[in-house]
Amino acid sequence: MPGKIPKDKYINIDTIEKQIDECINDFLDENGIDNDYKSLMNLKHSTVVYMMSYINKRLFKPDRTLCNNQKSYIDYNNIELLQVLADKFLDICQRFNKSLGLMAFSYFIGCSYSTLSNWLNADCSGELNNSRLLVLKSIQEGHKLQQINLLNDSPVGALAVANNDIETGLEWSKQQAALQASNAVYILPSERTERLKLQPPEE
């Protein structure tokens, strides 16, 4: 049938992760980047985002627009495949020690950021797909967790986490303010001289 995706272009869930890893190795080789821990940690976020686009062009982007104006070999309604790609995306973020969110994921899978945003909002999309929503939420949560990990790598960042971390119940600033308020002793002016054992002024 004209416009049908060639069989050899169907994405195999069992092999796609290996293909992505091979693509990453090619990207590193082509850009003269050593595939060792220190080199990967020192890469800029923008370089890793560019790598996401590179992977998409190599694996998921067809040479021409497919049937139904489809611009990717990825079936975005295939939740199992979408979950595999989301898990791999988060794995790459951890491997490179980078905090990347839905924008970078959109480059990775070749789906516009506005479309991903609509999927997160039932009012905009007109149809709520709970399974797809959970996949996108996992990207957001992974982004948040990785950002916290990066902050914890520095003393100032760790303090910021401690002051704002609701999950661990720290929120040091808020708790200290509440503690100070509960321990505060308010003394009326008439009581002050008695507490300080001062003589009232002579008339």
Check pLDDT > 60 for residue 87: yes
- Report the domain count for the chain: 1
* Per-residue pLDDT band at 75 (split at 50, 70, 90): confident
CA angle 103, 71, 112 (to 5 degrees): 20
Q: Provide the 3-class DSSP secondary structure of residue 85.
A: helix
Give the pLDDT of residue 142: 86
Question: Is 112 within a domain?
Answer: yes
Alpha helices in 31-78 (DSSP H): 37-41, 45-55
Question: Is 134 within a domain?
Answer: no
* CA-to-CA separations, 172 to 69, 147, 166, in angstroms, rounded: 52, 19, 10
Alpha-carbon 129 to chain mean position: 20
Question: Is 1 within a domain?
Answer: no
HSE-CB of 50 using CA atoms within 13 angstroms: 9
Kindly report whether the global pTM for this prediction surpasses the value 0.75.
no
Site of tokens 């091979």: 22
Give the pLDDT of residue 22: 96
Question: Is 84 within a domain?
Answer: yes
Give the pLDDT of residue 102: 94
Check pLDDT > 60 for residue 110: yes
For 60: left if phi > 0, alpha if psi spans -120 to 50, otherwise beta; the answer is alpha
pLDDT: is 137 or 193 the higher one? 137
Question: Is 138 within a domain?
Answer: no
What mean pLDDT do residues 45-73 have? 85
What mean pLDDT do residues 71-87 have? 91
Question: Is 190 within a domain?
Answer: no
Question: Is 183 within a domain?
Answer: no
Question: Is 178 within a domain?
Answer: no
Residue 75: φ, ψ to 5°:
-90, 105
Average pLDDT score, the chain: 78
